[in-house]
Structure 1
């Protein structure tokens, strides 16, 4: 009975820590899907152009997430050690550094964007749409990164509610501005595809203004002693951020290779793949929220040597992932034709998207298991193994199955190959986790020695 009560308490605590981020992630990913749904009404060519930009946008997101992991880790450690003033210096320092890094990356992506998108398979018509869209999209990406960095500071201080609220606020603003900027009002015809990027940029700018004001009010940032703090903290920051960024950069690299495979099948296939990518992240909202809320809890257990609770937490998290994600995937697969009709206006895109939904969405249960194990790795002292697992998921399981499917069975093979790749990745992650957790003391010693 006591064990049952303990499990119930763990589940309640996990829910309380996860739900604010889940709502925020739902809102954030929801407005990205709304963007694509509105753009789909412009035609297949604009939607395909936006789909080509997804892997590059994921590249920026991968770098910002890796830096955000380091931000939250360093600030939370400083707070735990009672070094409040250092925590404020770190907040300012990492916000300035992150803004500079993402800004330089955005500039480089603008300068070389023609060559990049040609390598991905974009034709001249698609490049014309991308040119008009890419500058405001890069601006919105920079603003979104700065907003994410402020979220990391709040999470390091134990506040997950404000980031969740700001995600919802920015999503609502984007929802209102999207149709206005894309289609216009009255005699004004709107901006078309670039209008979606401008709507996002304004929504992020308002969210950033609110979080910056809150940071200033709470005095969680300081402008004094930044140079000395930079000399002291750059090594630990790089030590955390570098492997995290490498791990986060592998999905966008895999996405680039995947879009190159799909581009050989046709424009409508690229458009359907882009919509499926948006739907993937939205359907994984609970898993994504758990990857944010679970690692700090696991880290505290790891520091206390409480491997029994680590076993219980990972077991509970994987059960939630399997039950929730498989149930959601089956329901959405059953409603695939209607969901595709709501997202895409072109009948060809609807048909191709329906096939992707039926195969891929149930397989995200296995993908969710792999994501949870990778995120737990950084908290449990095996970041290198987590990085290798993430790499194997993409380049050993997912991409080979996707490519083989496309070569032998065309579009049907792409859908089935992606699903098989996700299933293999989930089984591999489950096996790795069982082996590591079966030897906790050895793993703890290994982590400390490295």
Structure 2
């Protein structure tokens, strides 16, 4: 009876920690899907142009998420160990360093855009269309990264409600601005494809204004002792952030390779793949929310040495992820013709998207298992294993199966191969988690 009561209490706490982030993630990713749906109304070429930028956008997100993982892990561990002064110094450092790193990356991606997009398979005549969108999109990505670092501070201190609320607010602002800036209103002509990026710039600017005011009212930052803290924390920070960023950078690299395979099939397939990628992130909203809400919680357990709680948390999180993704995935697969019809702007893209949705969404249950294991590993002191798990998922399971499927059977084979790759990755991650948690005393050896 006591165990049942503890499980119920844990489930309630997990729900309270996760639901604000789940709603926020749904809103944030939902507006990205709405962006693509609006752009699809401009035609296949603008949608394909936006789809070519996805891997590079994921690259920026990968760096910011890797930094955010280290932020949440170190600050939550410091709080768990009662080192509040250190947590404030860490908060200031990560905001400064993270902002500068993302700004440098955005400038590099702007400078090298032509060479990158041509290698991804974009036609030379599409580069002008991509260029008009890529500039404001990089500005939006930088603003979004700074906003994300602020969210990481709130999550590390156990506050998931404000990040979730701000995600909803920025998403609603973007949703309102999208049709105005893309299509125009009355006599005023819209901006077309670049309008979607400028709408995101304005929405994220609003979010940063609100977040900055709220952060100023906390006692989570410090202005003194930063140089000494930088020297002290650089090694453990890089020990978490380095493998985490490498792990997070592998999906964009895999996305680049995947879209180059899809580009070989045709422009409508690229457009459909872009929509499917947006829908994938939306359908994984609960898993993504748990990858944000769980690490600070797990980090506190790590700092306190409470491995029994770690076992219970991971067991519950994996059960929720698998059941939710299976139910949602099967529903999307059954409704694929109608979902594709609602999102696609042309019959060719609609038909191709429907094929992708028949195979991919049910496999996200296994993908969710892998994502949770990788996220937990970074919080619990085995980032190297998490990085290797990410590499195995993408380059041993996912890409070979995707490429082989496309070679054998075109787009349907590509979709089935990607689904099989997700399933194999989920099984491998489950096996890794069972081995590691079977010997909890070994888990702190990688990063001290």
1:172 aligns with 2:172: yes
TM-score, normalised via structure 2 length: 0.96
Q: Distance in 2 between matches of 1:223 and 1:408?
A: 59
- Deviations for 1:203-247, whole angstroms, at most 9, x for unmatched residues? 001101111111112243333343343333323322221111111
8 Å Cα contact 2:78/2:303 also seen in 1: no
Q: Distance in 2 between matches of 1:353 and 1:20?
A: 30
Please name the residue that 1:414 is paired with.
414
- Deviations for 1:33-87, whole angstroms, at most 9, x for unmatched residues? 0100000000000000000000000000000111111222333344444444443
Residue 101 to residue 306, structure 1, CA distance change in 2 (3 Å): closer
After TM superposition, give the deviation of residue 6 of structure 1 in Å.
Answer: 2.1
TM-score, normalised via structure 1 length: 0.96
Please name the residue that 2:214 is paired with.
214
8 Å Cα contact 2:77/2:300 also seen in 1: no
Q: How many residue pairs get matched? A: 448
8 Å Cα contact 1:262/1:273 also seen in 2: yes
Residue 135 to residue 272, structure 1, CA distance change in 2 (3 Å): same
Q: Distance in 2 between matches of 1:206 and 1:11?
A: 34
- Deviations for 1:366-409, whole angstroms, at most 9, x for unmatched residues? 11111111111123322111111111000000000000001111
Q: Distance in 1 between matches of 2:309 and 2:170?
A: 37
1:340 aligns with 2:337: no
Please name the residue that 2:195 is paired with.
195
Q: Distance in 2 between matches of 1:380 and 1:38?
A: 41
Q: Distance in 1 between matches of 2:79 and 2:307?
A: 24
User: What's the Cα RMSD here?
Assistant: 1.6
After TM superposition, give the deviation of residue 24 of structure 1 in Å.
Answer: 0.7
Q: Distance in 1 between matches of 2:122 and 2:283?
A: 28
8 Å Cα contact 1:48/1:274 also seen in 2: yes
8 Å Cα contact 1:48/1:126 also seen in 2: no
Please name the residue that 2:123 is paired with.
123
Query: SS state of the match for residue 175, structure 2?
Result: helix
Moved more, 177-186 or 146-155: 146-155
Residue 268 to residue 10, structure 1, CA distance change in 2 (3 Å): same
8 Å Cα contact 2:287/2:368 also seen in 1: yes
Q: Distance in 2 between matches of 1:417 and 1:96?
A: 42
8 Å Cα contact 2:95/2:150 also seen in 1: yes
Q: Distance in 2 between matches of 1:278 and 1:143?
A: 20
Residue 323 to residue 82, structure 1, CA distance change in 2 (3 Å): closer
1:97 aligns with 2:97: yes
Please name the residue that 1:223 is paired with.
223
8 Å Cα contact 1:287/1:368 also seen in 2: yes
Q: Distance in 1 between matches of 2:40 and 2:411?
A: 20
After TM superposition, give the deviation of residue 322 of structure 1 in Å.
Answer: 1.3
Please name the residue that 1:23 is paired with.
23
Please name the residue that 2:322 is paired with.
322
After TM superposition, give the deviation of residue 357 of structure 1 in Å.
Answer: 0.8
After TM superposition, give the deviation of residue 447 of structure 1 in Å.
Answer: 4.4
Please name the residue that 1:362 is paired with.
362
Q: Distance in 2 between matches of 1:379 and 1:224?
A: 27
Query: SS state of the match for residue 42, structure 1?
Result: coil
After TM superposition, give the deviation of residue 262 of structure 1 in Å.
Answer: 0.4
